[in-house]
Structure 1
Amino acid sequence: MPFKVLHLDSESTWRGGENQIRLLLQAVQNENWQWHLAAPPGSEAIARMSHLAQTFAVPMRGARILTASFAVARYVRQHGIQLLDCQSGRAHNLGLFVKKLCPHVKLVVHRRVDYPPAPGYWHRQKYVHPSIDRFVCISSAIQKILAEFGVSPSKLTTVRSAVDSGPFADVDRQAARRILTNEWQIAPDQTIIGNLAYITEQKDHATLIRALGILQQRGLPFFAYIAGDGALRPAAEALAAELGLGPDRLRFLGVRKDVAQLLGATDIFALSSQDEGLGTSLLDAVHSGCTLVATAVGGIPEIVLHERTGLLAPAKDHQAFANNLERLLRDPALLERLRTEAQAHVARQFSLQSMVNGNLRVYEELIQGPARH
């Protein structure tokens, strides 16, 4: 009999959490595992993963969570689901209701953000509730936060997120550089600083843009791009204009489909987030051959070991961020050493197989019980 796992995902868009589900399901397609996915109608998760799992569309927002809990509970009974894996905050809420209706099912919650749960009685109960069998944290930093919040260490497991390295490692960097430097009309030997992220408060592009402004003031040669969109894009573009960062220095590319080629043409990947559960875009960049400059928040220091696999600056410190970028612009040997060491570190600690095996171990242990496992 296969293990039967239902993933609960309350998001309509496609972001890091949805991609981690996809990578897991895609890697494990055999008779030992039967995958199910419940997500909102019209969601990207259902659209992109219907060939990997049996899908179930159910509205989950607002007051609909009660209706959804009964619908999911019926689905659990009908399909003999043994374990629920809640992939978001709203799914966490839904999972607790379903567990009340189906007490036999095992309940797992994936935690992907690096800030403490909100204070208050309900939020505390949500995290220390006895119905939850395990929290899977995507970084050690998140596990530490939940332990400090009061979650029992016996219910905490770290399984770091991973990425599929293939699309990035297979890119011809020289060819990608030729194509994109021609598109941007810059010199082929220009040092390229790249950022791919939603332009949101969390990603704090203002720190990166201010750092680029400092590099320009110091007379350092570089070209930078920001690929992505978001509510704060107009403000980011206005800040760049205010600092005199024209299109010969910084370009906003919007949403791009050629992510692997962009990273393949990039020398330095710069991520100035003010919070980050892990930062899988950094893993994409490492597989693409980039050198990392980032902020020391959340799980990022588990990827970027300062002076070993990249350079770190405090969050919101554009001076320190600029100084790190300048070091790499002035020292090609340092840039190359950090790039090489980052590739070795990520291969050891953040492989796709490790992520898959880590999640499967949690599922097997809970479904079979510690003794049989």
Structure 2
Amino acid sequence: MNLAKGFRGGERQTALLIETLASRGNLQQTLVCRKDSPLREVLRDVSGLRFVSANHQLAGHGSVRKADTVHAHEAKAVHWAFLHHGLKGVPYIVTRRVDTPVKDRPSNRWCYRRAVRRVAISRVIMRELEMRGWGGVDLIPSAFSGLPTCEEATRRFHDTFAGKFLVGHAGALVDRHKGQRVLLEAARLLETRLPELQFVFLGDGEDREMLERESADQPNVAWLGFKENIGDYLAGLDMFAFPSRNEGLGSVLLDVMNVGVPIVATDVGGIPDIVQDNKTGLLVPKDDAIALSDALTRLYRSESLRAQLSQSAKQQLDRFSPEAMADSYISIYESIFRQEP
């Protein structure tokens, strides 16, 4: 179940799980999603996957064949799963992906308490759910996507900024969440100090026009928009900056680590589950452009530190693989099939 309108990190992880489970060949899957969901296009070639349309929580229940379990991947899907349980008695799993606390209201209490299992993708989400007292919580982190890369495309991208050291950012252009303004302020601080640094923003979102307008006088900033072949661009970066103000986990960091790019990120939400300060990346306080610029400067000036952090980061990726994520969920599914607590 995923009733989201767009396609962001949670939807990418939903798709990744479906694709990985399909490769096992021993599960029948149905995806309940909106009629206009981008997930339909992303997953159109997945063998045996059936789609059911539901633009809201009351729709689609009659179109779902008898299921052994329902897996809800976002907030509206949780309420859909609760209703489906009431209508057809199907047990359901909830995966919580955002680090904002679930509102303590009757509908949420009912939905989470009736779930047969509750899953958090990071320790901070796990703690928040446990504090609610709505039942036990499993920890299953998101996975890296294994994004395809093309050496020629990556080379062309890097050559566009010949002679520059590329500091990249990728994510929805929503400043209240991703903190792009903090990175823009850091870029201003470094504009004359380190003019060889070029800040490259990948992605789109509601704040794009505003952010572009505010940075129009910054020659060291480039806005490249949304890219289907994001792996080609991540692989061409020299450093990655992730100044989020809040973050459930930050799965894009796993994709950055997978292509060997060192990271500076904020110490918020689930990010410390991925980025261990001075071991697999550098962490800075949120909303602190000076600390961010200092960390970027430190990383830029030390090639050995960049290599050390990148190598250590890549060594931890086995526990964030799609196979590891699928194995954990299959274990939960099988416990439900066996009617274990």
C-alpha distance in 1, partners of 2:338/2:44? 27
2:328 to 358, 367, 372: 358
CA deviation map 1:246-268 (0-9, x unaligned)? 1xx11011112331121111011
The match for 2:117 is 134
CA contact (8 A) 1:12 1:45 kept: no
SS at match of 2:144: coil
> How far apart in 1 are the matches of 2:196 and 2:287?
23
The residue type paired with residue 50 of structure 2 is Q
2:63 pairs with 53, 62, 75, which one? 75
Q: How many residues align?
A: 337
Native 8 Å contact 1:193 1:224 kept in 2: yes
1:144 Cα shift?
1.1
Match of 2:53 among 47, 51, 57: 57
Matched residue SS, 1:33: coil
In 1, Cα distance between equivalents of 2:72 and 2:263: 31
Q: Secondary structure at the match of 1:163?
A: coil
* 3-state SS of paired residue (2:29): strand
Instruction: Supply the distance in 2 between the matched residues of 1:296 and 1:176 (Cα, whole angstroms).
Output: 33
Are 1:27 and 2:20 matched, yes or no?
Answer: yes
Residues 1:178 and 1:56: Cα distance change in structure 2 (over 3 Å): closer
- CA offsets per residue over residues 14-70 of structure 1, 9 Å max, x none? 22222222222222335521001111112112233243311111221xxxx33x1xx
Q: 1:260 pairs with 228, 231, 234, which one?
A: 231
CA distance in 2, matches of 1:350, 1:361: 16
Contact 1:303/1:346 (CA < 8 Å) preserved in 2?
Answer: no
Q: Which residue of 1 aligns with 2:169?
A: 195
Q: Which AA in structure 1 matches 2:2?
A: D
Specify every segment of 5 or more residues in structure 1 that has no aligned partner in the other structure, as ranges. 1-7
Partner of 1:36: 30
| Aligned twin of 1:206 | 181
Highest Rg: 1 or 2? 1
Give the letter for the 1:91 counterpart.
A
Residues 27, 119 of structure 1: CA spacing in aligned structure 2 closer, same or farther, 3 A cutoff? Answer: closer
Partner of 2:141: 160
How far is 1:217 from its partner?
Answer: 4.2
Which segment is superposed worse, 230-239 or 116-125?
116-125
Q: Which residue type is aligned with residue 294 of structure 2?
A: N
Is the CA contact (8 Å cut-off) linking 2:266 and 2:285 kept in structure 1? yes
Q: TM-score, normalised by structure 2?
A: 0.93
Which residue of the partner structure matches residue 214 of structure 2?
Answer: 239
Q: Deviations over 1:163-204 (max 9, x none)?
A: 232514xx43xx5554123323x31xx321001111002111
Which of these residues, 262, 276, 281, is aligned with residue 252 of structure 2? 281
In the alignment, which residue of structure 2 is the partner of 1:17? 10
Structure 1 runs of 4+ off > 4 angstroms?
none
Matched to 1:34, the amino acid is Q
Looking at structure 2, the residues matched to 143 and 238 of structure 1 have their Cα atoms a distance apart, in angstroms, of 39
The 1-side partners of 2:293 and 2:287 are apart by 11
1:3 aligned residue: none
Change (3 A) 1:166 1:234: closer
**In 1, Cα distance between equivalents of 2:86 and 2:203:** 41
SS of equivalent residue, structure 1 residue 230: coil
1:167 counterpart letter in structure 2: P
Confirm or deny: 8 A CA contact 1:176 1:264 kept in the other structure: no
Question: Could you say which residue in structure 2 is the equivalent of 1:4?
Answer: none
In the alignment, is the contact (CA less than 8 A) between 1:267 and 1:289 conserved in 2? no
SS in structure 2 opposite 1:298? coil
Contact 1:11 1:40 in 2 (8 A): yes
Residue 123 of structure 1 deviates from its aligned partner by 3.4
User: SS state of the match for residue 223, structure 1?
Assistant: strand
User: What are the superposed Cα offsets for residues 106-127 of structure 1, whole Å, 9 maximum, x if unpaired?
Assistant: 1111111011112444434443
Letter of the 2:10 counterpart: G
What is the SS of the residue equivalent to 1:316? Answer: coil
Identity of aligned residues (%): 28
Aligned: 1:100 with 2:86: yes
RMSD: 1.9
Task: Please say if 1:180 is aligned against 2:157.
Answer: yes
| Distance in 1 (alpha carbons) for counterparts of 2:33 and 2:135 | 29
Unaligned runs of 5+ in 2: none
